[in-house]
Amino acid sequence: MTGELKPVPRPTPETLPYWEATRRRELVHHRCDGCGAGSQHPRAVCACGSTDLTWTSCTGRGRLYSYVVVHRPEPVFADEAPFVLAIVELEEGVRLTTRIVDVPADPSALPLDMDVELRWIERGDVNLPVFAPAGPEGA
């Protein structure tokens, strides 16, 4: 393969625990021990004033919050078009930008609020959390 490579996240000291967890295929979020609010990326102080924030595992279940179907991406992603770029809201109340995979890139297959579950795609020395339509309960 020639030309530009797909972008690989480069952790900072603050985000390193998140990306190290992805190497183990574990999705974590930064949760406030005071009020329970969480975010995908690390915070220094929670909005409630607490500085007690802990990297905590996510169940990997969530819902499809919003999305676009990208038909004309930047050239480095051209081989994947059309793809579903989405915002997923996790059970833990955290939202993140991600992909919806294992489903046709067609709005009729992508109702909002659809249950989704965690998948992984490999990228460089980390893994990217992505999501697929959830299987039946208990399956």
Partner 1 sequence: MDAIIIGAAETDVLGRNPGQSVLGLNVEGGLRALADAGLEPGQIDGVAGACSPHGVAHALGITPRWVDSTNVGGCSFLMHVRHAAAAIAAGHAARVLVTHGESGRSRTGTVPRPRDPQSWTGQFEEPYGARAPYTRFTLPALRHLHGNGLDETALAQVVVAQRRWSSRVPRAGRRDLMTLGEVLAAPVLAWPFTVPMICMLTDGGGGLVVTASGHATTEQLRRSVRVLGTGENSDPLLVAQVPDPAGDSAARRAADDAFAQARIGRSEIGHVMVYDAFAHLPLIGLECLGLAPAGGAAEMVAAGETSPGGSLPLNTNGGGLAYTHTGMYGMFAIQEAVRQLRHEAAAQVPGVSTSAVLGYGGMFTASSVLVLARN
Query: Residue for token digits 């050239």?
Result: 75
What is the rounded distance in angstroms from the CA atom of residue 112 to the CA atom of residue 126?
Answer: 29
The residue from 27, 32, 64, 86 that contacts Zn ion (CB under 5 A) is: 32
Chain contacts with partner 1 (rule: CB under 8 A): 6-12, 15, 19, 39-41, 65-74, 77, 80, 82-83, 85-87, 95-99, 107, 112, 123, 128, 130
Pick one of partner 1, Zn ion, none as the site partner of residue 104 (Cβ within 5 to 8 A by kind): none
> Toward partner 1, which CB reaches closer, 33 or 74?
74
11 touches, from partner 1, Zn ion, none (C-beta below 5 to 8 Å by class): partner 1
Which residues are CB-neighbours of 89 under 8 A, at least 6 positions away?
A: 62, 63, 65, 95
32 binds, among Zn ion, partner 1, none (CB under 5 to 8 A by kind): Zn ion
34 belongs to the binding site for Zn ion (CB under 5 A):
yes
Tell me the residue ranges of DSSP E strands in 71-114.
83-90, 95-100
Sign of CA dihedral 23, 27, 29, 31: negative
**Going by C-beta distance under 8 Å and a sequence separation of 6 or more, which residues neighbour residue 34?**
46, 48, 49, 50, 52
- Tokens for 116? 């989704």
Which does residue 132 touch among partner 1, Zn ion, none (CB within 5 to 8 A, set by kind)? none
Single out the residue of 8, 16, 48, 112 in contact with Zn ion (rule: CB under 5 A). Answer: 48
Under the binding rule (CB under 5 A), the answer on residue 73 touching Zn ion is no
